[in-house]
Amino acid sequence: MKTLRIGYIGAGFIAKFLTVAMKQVRHCELTAIYSRGGAEDIAAYAKENRLGEPKIYSSVTDVCNNCDAVMIFSPNYTRVAIMEEIAEAVKAGASVKGVVCEKPLGRTVAEAEKMVELARDANLLTSYFENQLHMNAINNALSQLRPQQNVMGNFTLARSTEEHAGPHSAWFWDPTRQGGGVLSDMGCHSIAVCRHILTPEGKPNTFLKPVAMQCDTSLLKWGQPEYRKQLLDKFGVDYTKTPAEDFVTGIVTFKNPETGQLVKGQFTNSWMYDKQGLRLWMDAIGPGYAMEVNSLISPVEIFVGDEAAEGVADAETALEKSTASRGLLAVHSNEADFYGYTTETQDAVDSFLAGKDAMLNFEFGAEVTFLVQAAYMAAEKGTTIDLTDEKIKKELKSYRSLISQGKGADVLYS
Ligand SMILES: NC(=O)c1ccc[n+]([C@@H]2O[C@H](COP(=O)([O-])OP(=O)(O)OC[C@H]3O[C@@H](n4cnc5c(N)ncnc54)[C@H](O)[C@@H]3O)[C@@H](O)[C@H]2O)c1
């Protein structure tokens, strides 16, 4: 059995989470890490857990010379430059055969298309990491409901939310570096997962055709003076001048090209969800049947009273983006697996070893970017966007949202 040698570019929050997931993934080893951020910590963790003997390299090229699959886990604003370096390394004879990129594939449609082009020109296999489409909770519910769907017809409505109290690194908050606010950061998950749930059994993941987008972006919490000050003090980001949305909601309409039936995906995302911690919530309704997932309902819960809470130093051990360390708290016994990190990594490993793209390739990632940018455009124009209109599609190719240009004050404070 062959083993896929993996190299990381970026060693922060998501790289650590995916390394935890790797303990449950077979036929791979971590061999190379680009020398940034928490590279030493991840290398030590990998050795301790027998995930490999990764070496730390000071160039992207050296990482590409010492792995079969390179994984891009660096901030959104570094994507294209890193992909260019990877493509150059391949042309110079590097061993790497496949590339993985975390969401979002690009901050704009143009950036996402550039990622696709660079990877294809370099003959690289691709995997777009969108963990929620790999969540066993969702896919097991779908499998369970397929017989009902075959008799009754498919889902007509899917709703998806991802919410927490705000990101952990300064660059996420800066719309010019991140590509926007919570819509760019987490709307990509919710839009993609709605489409996945709505897709009929056995059809490709781009089978449903997006036909319309409605969206509203707003700044409900972090634009208030006391919270603007917190952001400035903690992250050096000034939401008086360059704000990003902390709340978004919208509806994307899809058409089944075989039957003409219209189905809807409703997405809601926020960075002002002041509850226990990260919540993923999805539900879907079909004729006579339904499904629902709520990540804050776990079979495991703990209670910490006021007295005992004084001794708790790290609230985030129990749940991603935890905001509380007392009261009744949800605990996940296998959080990396629950969010789909295990299954998405196994899919990339198995696919690359078999010489093919992963279940979600870069082209799929570019489609998600297209839908996210269409949502920004719909919110800016204050109208429903017709996604079948060739003029709109052309406009989206070079579109950059006002919020991502640092002009969010015009959109969010007026
Ligand atoms: N799927 C998910 O649920 C999920 C969750 C979190 C983050 N992400 C995505 O993962 C990516 C990284 O996010 P994060 O939370 O780990 O961020 P982070 O800030 O915690 O870590 C970023 C890492 O990249 C390194 N880095 C910075 N500039 C770099 C450069 N020019 N070249 C190479 N490395 C560089 C940093 O030193 C650090 O190691 C983002 O694109 C984000 O959208 C996805």
- CB 358 less than 6 A from any atom of ligand 1: no
Residue 318 has pLDDT above 70, yes or no: no
Q: Looking at ligand 1, which residue's alpha carbon is closest to its atom 37?
A: 37
Report the share of the chain in percent with pLDDT over 90. 91
Report the share of the chain in percent with pLDDT over 70. 98
The answer as to whether 188 is a domain residue is yes
Q: Is 76 exposed, middle or buried (0-12, 13-18, 19+ CB in 10 A)?
A: buried
Note whether 140 and 93 are same-domain residues: no
Sheet containing strand 247-255, edge to edge, reads 289-294, 279-286, 157-163, 262-270, 247-255, 209-218, 385-386
- For 89-239, list the strands marked E by DSSP: 98-102, 125-129, 157-163, 209-218
Q: Which residues, including other chains, have CB under 8 Å from residue 260's CB and lie 6 or more apart? A: none
pLDDT tens digits along 258-286: 999 999 999 999 999 998 889 999 999 99
Q: How far apart are CA 191 and CA 412, in angstroms?
A: 22
Respond yes or no on whether the N-terminal peptide bond of residue 210 is cis (omega within 30° of 0).
no
What distance in angstroms lies between residue 259's CA and the mean position of ligand 1's atoms? 41
pTM as predicted: 0.96
Note whether 204 and 102 are same-domain residues: no
Note whether 310 and 278 are same-domain residues: no
Q: What is the DSSP string of 293-361?
A: EETT--SEEEEE-HHHHTT---GGGTSTT---SSEEEEE-TTHHHHTTHHHHHHHHHHHHHTTS--SS-
Note whether 103 and 190 are same-domain residues: no
- CB 34 less than 6 A from any atom of ligand 1: yes
Note whether 350 and 289 are same-domain residues: no
Residue 17 has pLDDT above 70, yes or no: yes
Note whether 374 and 264 are same-domain residues: yes
Identify which of 14, 58, 64, 372 to mutate to test ligand 1's pocket (most ligand atoms within 8 A of the CB): 14
The answer as to whether 364 is a domain residue is no
Identify which of 40, 45, 61, 102 to mutate to test ligand 1's pocket (most ligand atoms within 8 A of the CB): 102
The parent domain of residue 319 ranges over 299-332
pLDDT tens digits along 187-220: 999 999 999 999 999 999 999 999 999 999 999 9
On average, the pLDDT of the chain sits at: 96
The answer as to whether 337 is a domain residue is no
Residue-level pLDDT at 314:
60
Identify which of 9, 13, 368 to mutate to test ligand 1's pocket (most ligand atoms within 8 A of the CB): 13
Residue-level pLDDT at 312:
61
Are 103 and 354 contacting, i.e. CB atoms less than 8 angstroms apart? no
The answer as to whether 39 is a domain residue is yes
Note whether 107 and 158 are same-domain residues: no
What distance in angstroms lies between residue 382's CA and the mean position of ligand 1's atoms? 32
Q: How far apart are CA 100 and CA 7, in angstroms?
A: 10
Residue-level pLDDT at 231:
98
Note whether 68 and 207 are same-domain residues: no
Note whether 244 and 305 are same-domain residues: no
Q: How far apart are CA 30 and CA 198, in angstroms?
A: 35
Q: How far apart are CA 97 and CA 122, in angstroms?
A: 9
- CB 388 less than 6 A from any atom of ligand 1: no
What distance in angstroms lies between residue 186's CA and the mean position of ligand 1's atoms? 14
Here the CATH number for the domain that contains residue 164 is 3.30.360.10
> Structural domain tally of the chain?
3
Note whether 314 and 270 are same-domain residues: no
| SS3 of residue 167 by DSSP | coil
Note whether 404 and 261 are same-domain residues: yes
Q: Is 86 exposed, middle or buried (0-12, 13-18, 19+ CB in 10 A)?
A: buried
